[in-house]
């Protein structure tokens, strides 16, 4: 139990250190950015990737025959993805970012981004 508590505290400290590096504008010595894919098919978003961090890239892939968007409710991103096309998003912001398609209200998801 003690070990677990220590690990949690350590992780929180590492996060704070990264955040202050980012604010100072220094190049973070973090692991290389990763790329993830989110599909749009049958009028819904596919499973959300886990482990996404600020600086990673999300590739949105529209398998439908209609235009979709990936529009953040906090306006931090707003992508148009044409039928059969893809769009890239460089993740700028940590948090649980709710998004939706402006054309299809039932299409919604939440991207969980760590700092």
By the criterion CB under 5 A, which residues form the site for Cu ion?
68, 101, 103-104, 107
Going by C-alpha positions, the residue among 70, 96, 95, 66 that lies closest to residue 83 is 66
Classified as helix, coil or strand, 98 is: strand
Least distance (Å) between residue 23 CB and Cu ion: 36
Nearer to Cu ion, 16 or 66 (CB): 66
Beta bridge partners of 88: 59
Angstrom distance (rounded) from CA 34 to CA 52: 8
Nearer to Cu ion, 81 or 91 (CB): 81
Angstrom distance (rounded) from CA 97 to CA 115: 13
Nearer to Cu ion, 22 or 79 (CB): 79
Least distance (Å) between residue 43 CB and Cu ion: 7
Least distance (Å) between residue 96 CB and Cu ion: 21
């Amino acid at each position: 139990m003690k070990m677990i508590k220590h690990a949690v505290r350590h992780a929180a400290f590492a996060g704070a250190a990264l955040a202050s590096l980012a604010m100072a504008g220094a190049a973070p010595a973090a692991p290389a950015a990763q790329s993830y894919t989110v599909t749009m098919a049958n009028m819904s978003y596919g499973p959300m990737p886990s482990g996404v961090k600020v600086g990673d890239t999300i590739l949105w892939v529209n398998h439908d025959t209609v235009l979709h968007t990936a529009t953040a409710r906090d306006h931090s991103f707003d992508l148009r993805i044409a039928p059969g096309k893809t769009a890239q998003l460089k993740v700028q912001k940590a948090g649980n970012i709710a998004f939706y398609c402006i054309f299809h209200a039932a299409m919604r998801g939440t991207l969980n981004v760590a700092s």
